[in-house]
Structures are given as C-alpha cells and as structure tokens.
C-alpha cells in the first residue's frame, strides 16, 4: 500500500476560535483523514504568551510566538490565520501567499480592508485564500454564493450578521427590558465585548456585508461608502410601537443591485421587519441571511453566527476544501483568477447615489406638546417631498413634551437626510430625531 500524503497545518492564534479548531480537528481527525485519504498534522501553533493556561493541551514543542515563522515554514502546507486585526494578520497572510501556500482565515476586518490586495497576492503567487468563517460563523453562506448559487444574479441580499445585536434586540422584545440593562448582562455572559462599539454601532456587520457584496457583485465596498448605523438609540418604545405596527426590529445588512443601471449599494441599520418574514423570527445569538437570486428565487440561511464551535466548524470546512485542492486540484478557491461573468467580476458596477437608495421610514421625535408643532413638521417633510403615511403621538418626558412617531411612504436617502437635518433645527424638536428603515422587502 502507498503511504498517505501528510498535510501539515499551522495555526496562527490560539484564542477562542483557534482552540476550537484544535479541539475539533483533533477529535475528528481520524474521520477526516479517512474521507480525504491523507494524514493531517497540526504542525505548529503561534501564541502571544507561551505560559498562558488554555482549555486545550498543545505540546510545548509545537508552540511558538513567531507567527511569521509559521507563514514562512516550507514544511507547512496550510496556514490558518486566526490572529484577528489587520496588522500582523495581514503580514502573515501575505507572507504565506507569497510562498504559494493556502491560507484559511476567519478575519472579516482583514478582508474588508485588504481583500483586493490579498486576492491579487494569491493570483500572483499561486497561493489560495479561503474565508468561509469570516461571515455568519457556522452558516455556509460564502460557499452558497460562490458555488451553490453560481447561476444566479442577486438583486437583494439582506440579513442579521451580528449575534450580539440580535441577542439584545430579542431580549428587549421578549422581556421589555431597556437596552442598557441587557447590554450589561450580555457583557457578563460573554455575548458582548467589554468595548461593545464594534458590534452595537454596526461596524462588525458592515465588515461582513462588504465581503458578501464582493462575493455577489465582484466589487469591494468600503465601510465609509455605506450607510452604517447601530442599535444604541433603539428604545423599548420603538420595540413596542414596531410590534403594534406588525414589525420586529433587527439590525440588518442590506445589499442591493439594480441590473438596469449596474448600481450597487450596501447599508447597515436597525430595520423594521414584517413579522411574517422569516428573519423577523430569527432570535437570540442566531444569524439569518436571505438571498434573492434571479434563477432560484429567495433562499434563507439560519444558524449560529458566532462562538467557538460555529466558527471552528466553518474553519475546518475550509481546511477540508484546502486539502482537497492540494490533493486533487478540484476545490473552488475564490480569487484564483479574474474569469467569470460580469455579474461577479465587478466590471461596470458603480456605487448607487443616495437618490437611488429608497425605503419607507420610521422617524421618532421628542417635541414640545403645543399647537402648531405637527404643522411645522409636515411643512418640513413636504418641502423635501417626503410623504407621511401615519402619525402616532404619545406622552413623553420631560413634562409638556410628546413623542411623535411618523412613518413615511417610499422616499430616498438624500431626501430623508435633508428632512432629518431640518427637523433637528426646529425649536419645537427637543432632541435629535431617530431614523429607522422599514424593510418591506420585495423578494
């Protein structure tokens, strides 16, 4: 019998995800080796602190503090970049690719910032880059877009991509507790970081949306080119009002493309989602993504979007694809070349102007409770050609104030921005208005 090929794997980073990969790869190695027809060797692991106690036991001889040594090690076939951030992670990735290696990464921030550079480096050197774990954890959305739905064009992709925000909004809806109290508990449970801003202000979701936009349309949209808004101003009153109107509130990434004009836009914001939609009922730390393809129609993907096991599952899935590529040359590796249809290549695609980004809107204001205020507000909206669909007024703090909630008919982002700016200037408006989008998605 011929001796099986040994595939050597290097792990850069042994944090939560890295330990999960080590744990599950060790536990399931025999089954994976039988399936792949190779021997898998976890060859070296880089860590920041050699003395730190961890939940997994790694032989001391395999540990190093030099991640670049793993990237440059000629014996290592596959490098798992699980460091995080965009500094050392970028150096490790580019070094490994320059040597023609396969890199597997879960790093959405790295891809969002340096994706074009990474894929160019892979093409130049003959290396390969896999990144299933960078978006939606255990949901195989990247594989679905690049393989299973390859025959489709995507007019609309929208989804819940951050488990922390979904956990907070779910508990607000189910328990009636305020945002600040639930955020504090989420931190204690480990669902939110000590600095929660990356999650609750929408930036984590924006990084993931950038990757999905590239996969669907072949163009990198930077976060500064998106609308990015978080959930930190959503109140229990908004949750309650939305429910009365037949909606739940979710933080969504929304990626749209108009194939008549070849315009693409990416936005991240709290959204009123009709209760009849599947994503309105995706709760807790789960993620959900709806993809509208022109051939298959709408498909929806739901699962755990974060955490050690879900992310490790996606990383190991990429490792299996990487081994298949090494042994048979048959795996799909996005970014290997620039062939393909114009739909995915990004040729001719441009960013949509704010005039062409449309929605219905929910606006909440605290105003003086006095005659003529509603007329002032209606005058502002009329001048900006924003049509009011409904008005709800309730008592508010301080005394002699009212909470005024407007919903609009369809308008566009430029008009609504101008409207909000002018409303904020009214002396009768006591604080910055809150804007939410209404997600009546036509799939």
Give catalytic residues, as residue numbers: 208
Quick check: helix, strand or coil at residue 291? strand
Structure tokens belonging to residue 177: 């507790």
Residue 362 neighbours by CB under 8 Å, 6+ apart: 238, 242, 272, 405, 406, 407, 435, 436, 437, 438
Residue 67 neighbours by CB under 8 Å, 6+ apart: 12, 13, 46, 83, 88, 92
How far is the C-alpha of 317 from the C-alpha of 329, rounded, in Å? 16
CB 170 within 8 A of CB 232: no
Beta pairing, strands 286-293 & 388-396: unpaired
How far is the C-alpha of 117 from the C-alpha of 103, rounded, in Å? 14
Quick check: helix, strand or coil at residue 311? helix
Other C-beta atoms lying within 10 Å of the C-beta of residue 163: 25
How far is the C-alpha of 403 from the C-alpha of 243, rounded, in Å? 17
Helices then strands, each counted (H, E), the chain: 15, 18
Sequence length of the chain is: 443
Burial label for 146, CB within 10 Å (0-12, 13-18, 19+), is: middle
How far is the C-alpha of 356 from the C-alpha of 428, rounded, in Å? 31
Angle between helices 108-125 and 88-98 (to 10 degrees): 20
**By C-alpha distance, which of 253, 264, 226, 229 is closest to 349?**
264
């Amino acid at each position: 019998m011929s001796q099986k090929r040994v595939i050597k794997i290097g792990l850069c980073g042994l944090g939560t995800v890295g330990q999960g990969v080590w744990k599950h790869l060790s536990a399931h190695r025999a089954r994976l080796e039988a399936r792949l027809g190779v021997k898998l060797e976890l060859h070296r692991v880089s860590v920041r602190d050699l003395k730190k106690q961890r939940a997994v036991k790694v032989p001391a001889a395999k540990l190093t503090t030099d991640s670049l040594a793993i990237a440059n090690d000629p014996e290592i076939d596959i490098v798992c970049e699980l460091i995080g951030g965009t500094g050392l992670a970028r150096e490790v990735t580019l070094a490994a690719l320059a040597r023609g290696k396969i890199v597997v990464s879960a790093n959405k921030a790295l891809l969002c910032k340096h994706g074009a550079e990474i894929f160019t480096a892979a093409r130049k050197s003959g290396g390969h880059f896999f990144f299933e774990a960078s978006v939606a954890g255990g949901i195989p959305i990247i594989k679905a877009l690049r393989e299973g739905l390859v025959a489709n064009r995507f007019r609309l992709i929208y989804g819940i991509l951050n488990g922390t925000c979904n956990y907070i909004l779910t508990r607000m809806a189910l328990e009636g507790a305020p945002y600040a109290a639930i955020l504090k508990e989420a931190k204690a449970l480990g669902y939110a970081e000590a600095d929660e801003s990356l999650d609750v202000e929408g930036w984590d979701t924006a990084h993931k949306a950038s990757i999905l936009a590239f996969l669907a349309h072949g163009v990198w949209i930077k976060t500064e080119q998106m609308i990015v808004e978080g959930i930190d101003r959503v109140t229990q009153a908004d949750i309650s009002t939305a429910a009365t109107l037949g909606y739940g509130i979710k933080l969504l990434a929304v990626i749209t493309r108009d194939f008549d004009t070849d315009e693409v836009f990416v936005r991240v914001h709290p959204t009123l989602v009709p209760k009849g939609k599947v994503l309105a009922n995706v709760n807790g730390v789960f993620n959900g993504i709806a993809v509208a393809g022109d051939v298959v129609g709408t498909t929806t993907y739901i699962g755990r979007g974060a955490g050690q096991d879900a992310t490790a599952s996606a990383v190991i899935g990429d490792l299996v694809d990487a081994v298949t590529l090494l042994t048979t040359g048959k795996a799909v590796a996005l970014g290997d070349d620039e062939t393909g249809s114009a739909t995915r290549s990004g040729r001719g695609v441009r960013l949509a102007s704010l005039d062409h980004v449309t929605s219905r809107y929910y606006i909440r204001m605290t105003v003086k409770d006095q005659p003529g205020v509603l007329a002032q507000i209606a005058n502002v909206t009329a001048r900006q050609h924003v049509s009011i669909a409904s008005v709800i007024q309730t008592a508010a703090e301080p005394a002699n104030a009212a909470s005024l909630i407007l919903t609009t008919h369809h308008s566009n982002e430029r008009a609504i921005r101008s409207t909000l700016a002018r409303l904020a200037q009214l002396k009768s408006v006591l604080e910055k208005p809150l804007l939410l989008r209404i997600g009546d998605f036509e799939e």
